[in-house]
Amino acid sequence: MNNSKKILSVLLIAVMAMGMLAGCGSKKAADDSAKDAKDTLVMATNATFPPYEYVEGDDFKGIDVEIAGEIAKKLGMKLDIQDVEFDSIIAGVQSGKYDMGMAGMTVTDERKQSVDFTDSYATGIQVIIVKKGSDIKSVDDLSEDTKIGVQQGTTGHIYASDDYGEDAVTPFNKGADAVQALLSGKIDCVIIDNEPAKAYIESNDELEIIDTEYVKEDYAICVSKDNSDLRDKINTALQELKDDGTIDKIVSKYIPAE
């Protein structure tokens, strides 16, 4: 090889090497941003709410957990479940800390001012749990003098405070704690969603759910108002899961038909 040819081939190799390096660099950058641009769907919940979400051993279980898993699958994403206080879910979704809140969460006009809701995937009913033999036989027996237990920040909390005043209401971190307080006579009743109510009293002969319903409501998933793209994708996934019977199947696994 003469000198000029040598120089040329060295240059060529250098150019190729640079090209490869540049190629690698940009591939890596693309992968990283794809990761940021979400291969994980972060769901905030409060896993004290059977049969919608609860902890069993090391696992999250429940209707919401399974529906969320199906939604993530449809979106081609991994599901990451964060178990947090119920009344911190909306703020966390608003700030972008979580992509969505799914926690048997009722759609309300007030919450709609902070977050967007997807289409509803289930309905709930606020019911009243009492000790058997209680003087409280229907909603009409509740008054400002009733000691009402609720889970902090839930619709049960909001409605009971509106109807009977803050002083009548004792908020607890978990619904199950309210039920314990009822058992030990610290409060007269608990207002909470019907399915968790059934789950809480299941192993308790002393308790019953009174016949009259307090409020009926729709459950939906909340997302940030800045993320209508995610909301639309979840709605599409939900519709498919409704149409092909997946949601019914999940619900009936946890709530056997009566």
Show Cβ contacts of residue 169 under 8 Å, excluding neighbours closer than 6 positions: 148, 149, 150, 157, 160, 161
Secondary structure of 67-98 in HEC code, one letter for each residue? HHHHHHHHHCCEEEEEECCHHHHHHHHHCCCC
Residue 146 vs residues 8, 118, 125: alpha-carbon distances, Å = 92, 36, 20
Q: Which is nearer to ligand ARG, 153 or 236 (CB)?
A: 153
Give the residue with the Cβ less far from ligand ARG, 188 or 195: 195
Among 7-15, 35-43, 100-108, 237-245, the segment contacting ligand ARG (CB under 6 A):
100-108
Taking contact as CB under 6 A, which single stretch among the options 9-17, 44-52, 69-77, 159-167 is the one that binds ligand ARG? 44-52
> Shortest Cβ distance from residue 137 to ligand ARG (Å)?
24
Is there binding between residue 194 and ligand ARG (CB under 6 A)? no
- Among the listed residues 42, 43, 44, 46, the single contact to ligand ARG using CB under 6 A: 46
User: Helix, strand, or coil here: 175?
Assistant: helix
Q: Which is nearer to ligand ARG, 46 or 118 (CB)?
A: 46
Our finding on whether 146 is near ligand ARG (CB under 6 A) is: no
Sorted by sequence, the CB contacts under 8 Å of residue 10 that are 6+ apart come out as: none
Residue 165 to residue 156: CA distance in whole angstroms:
13
> Which residue, 188 or 193, has its beta carbon nearer to ligand ARG?
193
Interface with ligand ARG includes 224 (CB under 6 A)?
Answer: no
Q: Per CB under 6 A, does 54 bind ligand ARG?
A: no
Is residue 200 a contact point for ligand ARG (CB under 6 A)?
Answer: no
152 binds ligand ARG (CB under 6 A): no
Smallest distance, Å, CB 175 to ligand ARG?
7
* Closer to ligand ARG by Cβ: residue 168 or 220: 220
Tell whether residue 149 is a contact of ligand ARG (CB under 6 A).
Answer: no
Among 51, 124, 149, 171, binds ligand ARG (CB under 6 A): 124
Q: Which amino acid is at 253?
A: K
Helix, strand, or coil (residue 158):
helix
Q: Report CA 141 to chain centroid distance, whole Å.
A: 32
DSSP character at residue 122: E
Instruction: Answer for the pair 249, 45: CB distance below 8 angstroms, yes or no.
Output: no
Question: Quick check: 250 binds ligand ARG (CB under 6 A)?
Answer: no
With b meaning 16 or more CB within 10 Å and e meaning fewer, what string describes 154-186? bbbbbbbbebbeeebbbbbebbbbbbbbbeeee
**Which spans of this chain sit near ligand ARG (rule: CB under 6 A)?**
45-46, 48-49, 53, 86, 103-106, 124, 151, 154-155, 193
